[in-house]
Amino acid sequence: MLNHSHFYHATVRNSIIVFGKLFNSVFIKRDNSNGSPNQLVKVPITYGPKEKWLVRSQNDPDLDRPVEIVLPRMTFEITDFSYDPSRKVSSLNQLIIEDDIDGEKRRTQYVPVPYNLGITMYIISKTQEDALQVVEQILPFFTPHYNLTVNLNTQMGYKFDVPTVLNNVTLQDDYDGLFEQRRVVLYTLTFTMKTQMFGPITESEVIRTVQANIKEVKQDELGNDVVARRREFTASVNPITTSVGTSPIPTSEEWNFDF
């Protein structure tokens, strides 16, 4: 059934890269005891599950490691895919572009299929103050969605608006436990990226010549249909010398009667 050649448009990868860059400029400020600013720290963001960083943060039984991992930090991961029928358009529509290198070829692709990409982001911190600084720099921009313009398919060059919806924010503060156990403040933010999935691309020659055979039918005295005249019409266009958007398109026409 899936009889097609290999294709891969890196749609999910491009979506994840754009999502990570969205939070790549979050900072926290630490002040001295007198209220004067001390340092401005950039919060790192990486792709991966939260368990990896929690283990690295807590797995130090001798408490003699000179440097812990940098906290606060953000990490995110893909959690699910789901089809979105509310954004479905006709499957017969196509995207068509001309080849940039060979002007006599064009690329054709059916419209993409809407899918929702579930993403969960974690904010890991040692203190509530640091975590809240990160959270308050994110929440005001989602109402509840933030619109991203992404080039999901670089081969076709079409850019799509990808609304990113903030669904929920939860808090986990592990302040209970043993004395030697390190406190971890964890905020969990769940997002939905309304992205698109693309099928294969087909290449074809640009149509330069159209030929139509026309028959003129008349009725004889008995009311029978007879072909009184046959004509052949040929129209040609040069796609190299005709720029996109030219109207009307210059064509060379030729009629051949009674061929």
Task: Assess if residue 56 is contained within a domain.
Answer: yes
Judge contact between 158 and 95, C-beta under 8 A.
yes
How many independent structural domains does the chain possess? 2
Does residue 15 sit in the same domain as residue 127?
yes
pLDDT category of residue 237 using cuts at 50, 70 and 90? confident
Contact of 152 with 112, CB cutoff 8 Å: yes
Residue 74 lies in a domain: yes
Boundary of a domain, candidates 149, 177, 197: 197
Task: Identify whether the C-beta of residue 79 lies closer than 8 Å to the C-beta of residue 119.
Answer: yes
Instruction: Evaluate whether 218 touches 226 at the Cβ level (below 8 Å).
Output: yes
CATH number of the domain residue 67 falls in: 3.30.2000.40
Task: Judge contact between 196 and 95, C-beta under 8 A.
Answer: no
- pLDDT tens figures, 177-203: 555 556 788 999 999 999 999 888 887
The candidate with the shortest Cα–Cα distance to 254, out of 232, 238, 226, is 232
71 plus 138 within the same structural domain = yes
Give the domain-ending residue among 197, 229, 247: 197
Chosen domain end from 175, 197, 219: 197
Can you count the helices (H) and strands (E) in the chain?
Answer: 3, 14
Does the residue 3 lie in any domain?
no
In-domain check, residue 96: no
State whether 146 and 68 are in the same domain. Answer: yes
Domain co-membership, 233 together with 122: no
Claim to verify: residue 178 and residue 123 sit in the same structural domain: yes
Q: Answer yes or no: do 230 and 185 share one domain.
A: no
For residue 96, what pLDDT band results from cuts at 50, 70 and 90? confident
Can you give the pTM of this predicted structure?
Answer: 0.69
Residue range 111-120: mean pLDDT, rounded? 93
Cα angle 250, 252, 258; round to 5: 145
Q: How far apart are CA 132 and CA 182, in angstroms?
A: 19
**139 and 217 in one domain?**
no
For residue 153, being part of any structural domain is answered with yes
> Going by C-beta distance under 8 Å and a sequence separation of 6 or more, which residues neighbour residue 253?
233, 234, 235
> What is the separation, in whole angstroms, between the first and last Cα of the chain?
44
Q: For residue 89, is it within any domain?
A: no
Provide the domain limits for residue 230.
Answer: 207-257
Mean pLDDT of 89-99: 78
Q: Which residue do the tokens 């809407």 mark?
A: 114
pLDDT at 32: 75
The rounded distance, in Å, linking the Cα atoms of 201 and 153 is: 11
- Determine the pLDDT at residue 62: 43
Same domain, 26 and 130: yes
- Clarify whether residues 129 and 240 are in a common domain: no
Q: Is the pLDDT of residue 55 over 70?
A: no
pLDDT at 54 over 60: no
Q: Please check whether residues 138 and 169 belong to one and the same domain.
A: yes
- Pairwise pLDDT comparison (59 vs 106), residue with the higher score: 106
Mean pLDDT of all residues belonging to the chain: 79
pLDDT at 78: 93
Give the residue-averaged pLDDT of 115-122. 95
Amino acid letter at 143?
T
Q: Is the pLDDT of residue 93 over 60?
A: yes
